[in-house]
């Protein structure tokens, strides 16, 4: 989409609403002159390297065949805001149904097990593709999983991975920024500290924590065993024990987990009323087409 005309007049795009807060920046809703609605992620210029990395990753996986958010422009933009504040921005497809965190909140903080399995299978598909190509997300949590309408027959929604500003690229250095700042429960034990080890196993630990959040479970340690409290089926507990393993080498891979009964049980497509809608879209005042 590098040839579309709005690229040259990027700063004129009207901001129609606030979509959320990201690492070192915020996400706003914008619209092009021809009516295309997009998400604009903006950060202070000093964090532009993170946005450059995110843009590289989004463009690497820019296809409808990946469970990864697609860019709507291939470049990072620099602009100067009022009071001479210098910022950088990237543009992405807009998620009309918000995030997985929004879905959990709308469901009363606990999702039905089959719905959780349906969602996690799509997250695993995204992780499989990332890990196959040598990337590690490094910031996997419910607010970074976005929900889109599905164009696949029989499916209601597609879930896609987002926010790659802390990601590790193939053969690249470990992320410099502290991982999971303020949310240490998502961080695998081997990744803690300045000499932390970052591998694809980090994402699998985070995935397990996210499943517990979706199902209202709590992890406890004792007698050299891990216990999960909450109304969990044996099948879910087995899935979690493959993710929440202190030895990263012993953790299951995304590809292995894709065949687990928890995500392969009778598909529980989320009912339409369970899908959230960002507040800036819910009142019907914003009109436009989606990417």
Say how many CA atoms lie within 13 Å of 242 toward its Cβ: 18
Q: Which of 76, 86, 277, 240 is nearest to 164 (CA)?
A: 76
In which element (H, E) is residue 25 found? strand 25-31
Q: Which residues contact 233 (CB under 8 A, 6 or more apart)?
A: 113
Determine the Cα angle at 276 with ends 66 and 156, to 5°: 50
Residues at the binding site are 41
CA atoms within 13 A on the CB side of 220: 8
Binding annotation for ATP: 41
Q: Please, which residues have CB within 8 angstroms of residue 4's CB and are 6 or more apart in sequence? A: 32
| Catalytic positions | 139
Burial of 69 (0-12, 13-18, 19+ CB in 10 A): buried
In terms of Cβ atoms closer than 10 Å to its own Cβ (0-12, 13-18, 19+), residue 213 is: buried
């Amino acid at each position: 989409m590098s040839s579309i005309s709005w690229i040259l007049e990027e700063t004129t795009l009207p901001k129609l609403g606030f979509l959320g807060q990201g690492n070192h920046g915020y996400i706003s809703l914008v619209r092009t002159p021809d009516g295309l609605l997009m998400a604009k992620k903006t950060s202070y210029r000093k964090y532009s390297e993170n946005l450059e990395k995110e843009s590289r990753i989004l463009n690497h996986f820019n296809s409808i065949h990946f469970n990864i958010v697609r860019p709507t422009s291939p470049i990072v933009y620099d602009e100067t805001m009022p009071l001479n504040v210098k910022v950088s921005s990237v543009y992405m497809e807009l998620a009309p149904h918000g995030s997985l965190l929004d879905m959990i909140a709308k469901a009363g903080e606990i999702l039905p097990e089959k719905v959780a399995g349906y969602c996690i299978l799509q997250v695993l598909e995204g992780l499989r593709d990332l890990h196959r190509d040598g990337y590690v997300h490094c910031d996997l949590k419910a607010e970074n999983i976005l929900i889109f309408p599905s164009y696949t027959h029989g499916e209601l929604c597609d879930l896609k991975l987002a926010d790659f500003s802390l990601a590790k690229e193939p053969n690249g250095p470990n992320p410099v920024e502290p991982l999971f700042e303020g949310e240490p429960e998502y961080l695998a034990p081997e990744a803690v500290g300045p000499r932390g080890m970052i591998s694809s196993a980090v994402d699998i630990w985070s995935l397990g924590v996210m499943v517990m959040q979706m199902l209202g479970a709590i992890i406890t340690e004792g007698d050299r065993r891990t216990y999960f409290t909450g109304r969990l089926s044996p099948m879910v507990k087995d899935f979690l024990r493959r993710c929440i393993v202190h030895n990263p080498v012993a953790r299951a891979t995304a590809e292995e987990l894709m065949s687990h009964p928890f995500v392969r049980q009778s598909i529980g497509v989320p009912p339409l009323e369970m899908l959230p809608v960002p507040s800036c879209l819910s009142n019907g005042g914003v009109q436009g087409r989606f990417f």
